[in-house]
Chain A
Amino acid sequence: MTINITMAVTLAGLYSVGFYLLMQRSLMRVILGIVILGHGANLFLQVAGGPPGEPTFVGSAVLEAMVDPLPQALALTAIVITFALTTFLLALAYRSWALLGHDEVQDDVEDRRIARAEQAARKVEDEGPESERVAGFEAPEAPESRPGEDDEEARIR
């Protein structure tokens, strides 16, 4: 098999642009990233489906000259679903704009707050008394004392 360099370069370019847009802060750019990634994916299906050939109309060409129809069918489905997804995301962006007045993908502050709280809790735990640190991990054994210190033992003998 041979490899089509033009196709490979185009794919690399489309995916890179898509990934880059996906990592942006503007929701509109993220959506554009998804649209471009969708185009890239459709092209990917065609590349993975082998070299181009004659359209798959029965009788118009011999079977060996035809292009593989299955990746095309899959890509057709993918195109429509990408459209559904895009529309939904646009509605979300629209809603975000209507409610918040911006379309920025913000950080989830709650996550950072939890991480900070965990750190603080750990600090308190480290400074806490020894017995508290492993609280809950102690075997429910009978209380033990150092040899020679207990009178109980003598009493049982």
Chain B
Amino acid sequence: MLVAILAHFALAAVLPLVARRYGRAAFVVGALAPAATLVYALARGGEAVSGAPPLETLAWAPVIGLEFTARFDELALLLILLVSGIGAVVLCYYSRYAKPDDHRTAARDSALLVTFAGAMLGLVLADDVISLYLFWELTTVCSFLLVGGDGVAKRLRTSATQALLVTTLGGLAMLLGLILLGTAAGTMRISEILADPPSGGIVTAALLLVLLGALTKSAQVPFHPWLPSAMVAPTPVSAYLHAAAMVKAGVYLVARFSPAFADHPAWWIPIVVCGLWTMLLGGFRALRQYDLKTLLAYGTISQLGFLMVMLGAGTWMSALAAGTLILAHGLFKSALFLTVGIIDKRAGTRDIRELSGLGRQWRGLTTLATFALMSMAGLPPLLGFIGKEVALEALFEGGTVDRLIGVGVAVGSVLTVVYSLRFLRGAFGTKPDMAPSAPVPCGRVMTGMVAVPSLAGLVLALAPSVIEPVETGYADRYGKDPGYHLALWHGITPALMISVGIIAAGVAVHRYAGVQRLGGYVPGPLRAQSWYGRSVEGLESLARGVTGRLQVGSLPVYLGVILTTLVVVPGAGLFSGDIDFGELRLFDNWLQVPLALLVLVAAATSLLARRRLTAVLLAGVVGYGIGAWFVVDGGADLALAQFLVETLTLVVFVFVIRRFPPRFIENKAYVGGRWVKAVIAGVAGTFVAVLAVLYSGYRGGIPEASRQYIERAEDETGATNVVNAIIVDFRAFDTIGEITVLAVAATGVASLILARSRRRNGTVGRPEPTEQDATDDTGTTETPEVRS
């Protein structure tokens, strides 16, 4: 299974080369990866449903417990049927849908679609939370790039950005939730978390965060507007990402965690409430769309809500219904999107108001689309009907809450019937006062690709035993098998009667247009899209306000902010913990006291100095004082280097300041903030000192590394001076780095000084003598530094 995921990415890497040469044929090449995966998954299907699913582990960073584990169980198999099956179909379809001469688009979209298929495969197989998150975000990124297309049109960019912002927000929340969940359970493996679910307040928060990820990804209210916006993508992309595969990721996540948490109120209540709301709102909004694709997008939102409700209900029957409906929805929705693609491409429009009489021209396509629509509306003999039967059975056999949910689902299903009919009449019907659209062929290959998912929905409904082991295998995680079997005919049951009622009501609503004319309207201020607009706008103005206040262009202000942050953030963390200051003593060696006085007085006086030379000399006194301190503390080499360098620094300072006026230029305008600066500097300085004594306090003798340095110095380097041995031998690479810094600084100094001499000599136009100067001068500048 790991090989299959890698194969997708490898193929995606070479597809641009194929597309450059052969254009849109690259899509067919790209279809090989998902098609092979589908065959492989079906061949190993028996193992997946055996109860002991195959595991494959790839060590990633085993030291910190990071590994990628693929777990091929029933749920993964179910999703692979969609991800790889629909993936292969859509890629083949795209090879005809794409413009023949647009090699760039073919290169981009084929590579991205195959990458997406690989990411989706990884997502459904991943058995540890970190790789789950990685693949999750990879699908988001693919979606962003596919919706954004070439990024030229503004509408593409804003839609892509909206999808990215909303789903990434959820994704980050999910990551936090998954990590909290993993920490509470003590393992990052999903199967282990589910086998022994943790509990407590943290888990409640974690579940809500994970749900936020699922709800945003699966376009649940109130995060749904990104999905209709994303319909600006090419239709095959919409069919794959925004109908069959990516939006199922949220449903998949819920399906994955529901067996363990279905009884947790923080889990099932938000799922059921958001799901029902989404199902009703999506169906309601679909009633009014003129654009066939947007109509389908709202239909998808509604169906995703339905799936969520069934998973949230959390019984054996509802899980069976959810599993069946996931497959049914993937099949009929992709078939319908592909149909819209053909209509859009061949008839030149997908607006209901401009289409007429297509049904008579394209009888084959119309039949296939009708099958898909019947599956969507829940009519026999199609898979959607079987799924809806199980769902109604599950809800109306349950308790009061389940029955109430059932009523909501029934109303949502009526809406589904209505918009299915709207699609059928709108796309294929002949409108009395409109001239039929011009006759054009609908394309054999593309129609063939519609046939695959559409007929699959029919065949699987006639022989449900093919998929039953997968569906019941998943449902068994929720409890005991009550002996129910998937079938078209269970006799005259209450569920069947409700189904008949739903269809009758749907047809009635569709017929009486007066009722429908009220449908689908949501006042502007209540639309989630305007909330999104307002929140993005608010975020932007917040960013502007904060940046405008922080980025004022003044170095002292920046430093002040940095120092304050240094004290406040790590300081709060430090002092909230348990601090042991240990025993206090005045000094280690009485010589430290006069040295400390000298250093402090010199440093303080340098603040007050008005003459440059005075300040520089006082800084020199501080340096020599520190050198003397090193002698007292037993750092002979250190003291030597300190004295040498201090002397050199003084020399360089004197060379430079002789060019400057003797006194500092005092700018009165800035004196006002002097006290603020002093307070910030004082607090930050004290904080650093506290840090230093704390570090010192937590040491217990000479650490192992230093001990080894001392013990091995003589044998391994032949030096008795350990500091020397460390610098030139044990840590010689540090010293090389240090020399490099010196060389770079020397080059910089030389070029800065020479730039001046060039101006003075007026030799700007003649580079040769200047370069001669440069080598000379670099030599002289570098010499004292290298000696140091």
**Chain A residues proximal to chain B, CB less than 8 Å:** 1-26, 28-29, 32, 35-36, 39-40, 42-44, 46-60, 63-64, 66-70, 72-73, 75-77, 79-88, 90-95, 97-98, 102-105, 107-112, 114-115, 118-119, 122, 133-134, 136-144, 146-148, 152-157
Contact = CB atoms under 8 A, between A and B. Distances in A.
A50 B702 contact: yes
Contact of B353 (A10, A17, A76, A152): A152
Contacts of B537: 133-134, 137
Given A17-B604, A115-B548, A156-B353, 14 more contacts: A1-B697, A7-B592, A13-B603, A14-B685, A35-B623, A55-B636, A67-B634, A70-B709, A97-B660, A107-B554, A115-B549, A139-B229, A141-B228, A154-B517
A154 B703 CA distance: 86
A70 B726 contact: yes
B532 A14 contact: no
Interface stretch (B308-316, B479-487, B645-653): B645-653
Interface string B684-716: 111011101101111111110111011101100
B645 A139 contact: no
A58 B710 contact: yes
Given A52-B588, A88-B749, A23 B677 contact: yes
A16 B685 contact: yes
A70 B706 contact: yes
Given A1-B699, A32-B619, A148-B517, A15 B788 contact: no
Given A76-B727, A148-B517, A83 B596 contact: no
A67 to B, nearest CB: 5
Given A19-B680, A107-B553, A77 B727 contact: yes
B360 interface: no
A28 B290 contact: no
Contacts of B534: 134
Contacts of A77: 727, 734-735, 738
B731 A81 contact: no
Nearest first, the 7 closest Cβ-Cβ pairs linking A and B are A16-B685, A111-B553, A108-B553, A15-B685, A19-B681, A12-B689, A134-B533
Interface in B214-234: 225, 228-229, 231-232
B347 to A, nearest CB: 16
B629 A43 contact: yes
A70 B158 CA distance: 56
A142 B656 contact: no
Nearest to B636: A55
A137 B560 contact: no
B702 A66 contact: yes
B788 to A, nearest CB: 6
Nearest to A96: B752
Interface in B739-762: 741-742, 744-746, 748-749, 752-753, 755-756, 759
20 contacts: A1-B700, A3-B582, A6-B587, A6-B593, A8-B689, A8-B690, A10-B600, A32-B616, A43-B626, A44-B688, A56-B723, A69-B709, A70-B705, A92-B752, A108-B554, A111-B553, A112-B553, A122-B544, A155-B431, A156-B353
A148 to B, nearest CB: 7
B641 A80 contact: yes
Nearest to A88: B745
A77 B742 CA distance: 11
B584 A5 contact: yes
B633 interface: yes
A72 B710 CA distance: 13
A15 B294 CA distance: 64
Interface stretch (B35-43, B402-410, B440-448, B662-670): B662-670
B57 interface: no
A73 B717 CA distance: 16
A36 B720 contact: no
B635 interface: yes
B contacts with A: majority SS: helix
Nearest to A105: B555
Contact of B596 (A9, A50, A114, A154): A9
Contacts, number: 398
B437 interface: no
A25 B431 CA distance: 79
A146 B521 contact: yes
Contacts of A10: 596, 599-600
B512 to A, nearest CB: 9
Contact residue range for chain B? 35 or more
Contacts of A155: 353, 431, 433
B533 A68 contact: no
Given A46-B630, A55-B634, A156-B426, A13 B599 contact: yes
B556 interface: yes
B517 A147 contact: yes
B637 A76 contact: yes
Nearest to B784: A87
Interface string B583-609: 111111100110010011001101100
B513 A153 contact: yes
A49 to B, nearest CB: 8
B401 interface: no
A152 to B, nearest CB: 6
Nearest to B709: A69
Contact of A80 (B695, B713, B738): B738
A62 B588 CA distance: 19
Question: In this complex, which of B642, B692, B698, B752 has the most chain A Cβ atoms within 10 angstroms of its Cβ?
Answer: B692
B518 interface: yes
Contact of B756 (A20, A84, A94): A94
Nearest to A109: B553
Contacts of A35: 619, 623, 649
A150 B588 CA distance: 92
Nearest to A134: B533
Contact of B154 (A90, A104, A136, A144): A136
A122 B741 CA distance: 46
B682 interface: yes
B588 A17 contact: no
Nearest to A103: B660
B289 interface: yes
A133 B540 CA distance: 12
A95 to B, nearest CB: 5
B346 interface: no
Contacts of B706: 68-70
Given A14-B622, A16-B681, A67-B633, A137 B641 contact: no
Interface string B391-419: 00000000000000000000000000000
B721 interface: yes
Question: In this complex, which of A32, A39, A69, A80 has the most chain B Cβ atoms within 10 angstroms of its Cβ?
Answer: A69
Contact of B648 (A9, A75, A83, A153): A83
Contacts of A138: 529, 533
B588 A51 contact: yes
Given A107-B552, A108-B553, A69 B723 contact: yes
A20 B679 CA distance: 9
Question: In this complex, which of A21, A91, A136 has the most chain B Cβ atoms within 10 angstroms of its Cβ?
Answer: A91
Given A53-B634, A85-B745, A140-B232, A76 B626 contact: no
A139 B709 contact: no
B239 to A, nearest CB: 18
A12 B738 contact: no
Nearest to B629: A43
B521 A46 contact: no
Contact of A115 (B552, B555, B559, B626): B552
A153 B517 contact: yes
B425 interface: yes
B780 interface: no
Given A13-B685, A50-B702, A58-B713, A139 B228 contact: yes
B670 A3 contact: no
A30 to B, nearest CB: 8
Contacts of B695: 47-48
A67 B635 contact: yes
A94 B652 CA distance: 11
A35 B695 CA distance: 23
